[in-house]
Amino acid sequence: MKLLFLRTDFYGAIRVGGSFSHIRGFLKGMDELGVGVETSSSAELFVGNPYPFHQIPYSPFFDSFPEAHCLAHNRTLEQNLPAIIEQTKPDFLYQRHSEFIYATSKIAEKFGLPLILEVNNIEAWLKKNWGGKLYFKNFLRRAEALQFHKADALMVVSEVLKQDLIRWFDLPEEKIHVNPNGVDVDAFSDRIDTAAFFQTLSDELKKRWRGKLLCGFVGTFGEWHGVEVLAKSVKRVVAKNPSIHFVLIGGGKLRKTVDEILETDGVSDYVTLLGSVSHELVPKYLSLCDVLLSPHVDNVDGTPFFGSPTKLFEYMGLGKAIVASGVGQIKDILRDGENGLLIPPKDENALAERILFLGENPDLRNALGKAARKDAVEKYSWRENARRVLQIAESLNKNEKR
């Protein structure tokens, strides 16, 4: 089998974040399963991409009116993608769904190729709730409806999102397959040499972290990550146990809010904000931590959290004790008291109490981490994620040949 992977959104110079971890891991999983992989997107998919790459660039004037250029990119795809398909001769197309893009379903149909659409969210909902001003609302809704109905299969990251798609677009349930995100269990491992990595740190970080119980977080500081809850919990934690220190990786929209909360509470010295770090360094920094945090919250409009946090599976792969909010898929992945601890969402007091509890119970931290690692390897590796997609692709190809 051979796949052509399509990323059709504009992402400029950005190369870090959950989407890049997802793509890197998924393609590695496919490669390990013996699937031939070729890729196409507006820019190189990630640093060190080892797979053949075919660029279909966006307009250099994208920032002037993004919605118009997204719509226009359909025409660009129609002009360029057929030649790439003829050259690569894939058995199926696998596309990461993006706003306003519908041409790929028409092109797949023209070539008689199955199109599997990876759906991480409904773009019309995302733009309304997180994306600011939306001018072409009706166009976006129609583009998504066309793409979802034309695609041969939809791979969604959670059961919540599956039900959202059925409700919003009147899609047949059997067309939608739940495929949680995953983790590279070799990169995010419980075998990282933490002592050796610690020696590579700056003298300032060594002094700040040595002898402390470290609580880690990685994310883009978006509304759904619960970083405000995390920041508010720090004061309560360090008031009872000043030997606990927080390590936050990433940045984004709510970074300034986090800074303000920590400064107001007078606890900035108990938190290290590393900002964005390279993908290769993320597991090493997190491996230094004793407890890892995922305080996600439900959606801003009151609907259930529909995501499948990549960070959660990466934490599990590292074999660390996890404290997470029991929202959406998270409460299904983590079994409270067995492979992690769950707290109510938006409850900084509960988060602080669980952190303090784990700080006093090293044996429990160890047991939770071992159980989480076992689940990551057996159920949530990117190889297993890719295997579920491959099974759908093989089924679609068999049906096509009948």
Q: Which two tokens stand for residue 96?
A: 């990461």
Mean pLDDT along residues 37-51: 92
* Cα–Cα distance, 69 to 67 (Å, whole number): 5
CATH superfamily assigned to domain 2-182+381-401 = Glycogen Phosphorylase B; (3.40.50.2000)
Query: Can you give the residue ranges of every domain in the chain?
Result: 2-182+381-401, 194-379
Q: Do domains 2-182+381-401 and 194-379 have the same CATH topology?
A: yes
Fold type of domain 194-379: Rossmann fold (3.40.50)
Site of tokens 């990433």: 250
The secondary structure of the chain in percent helix, strand, coil, rounded to multiples of 5, reads 50, 15, 35
The tens digit of pLDDT for each residue in 280-305 reads 999 999 999 999 999 999 988 888 89
Question: What is the sign of the dihedral through the CA atoms of 376, 184, 281 and 330?
Answer: negative
Q: Is 346 exposed, middle or buried (0-12, 13-18, 19+ CB in 10 A)?
A: middle
The tens digit of pLDDT for each residue in 87-118 reads 999 999 999 999 999 999 999 999 999 999 99
The backbone torsions φ and ψ at residue 111, rounded to the nearest 5 degrees and listed phi first, read: -90, 0
200 CB neighbour count, 10 Å cutoff: 10
The tens digit of pLDDT for each residue in 117-145 reads 999 999 988 888 877 778 888 999 999 99
Element spanning 389, H or E:
helix 382-401
The tens digit of pLDDT for each residue in 330-360 reads 999 999 999 999 999 999 999 999 999 999 9
pTM over 0.85: yes
CA distances from 342 to 212, 292, 376 (A): 23, 12, 17
Residue 316: pLDDT over 50: yes
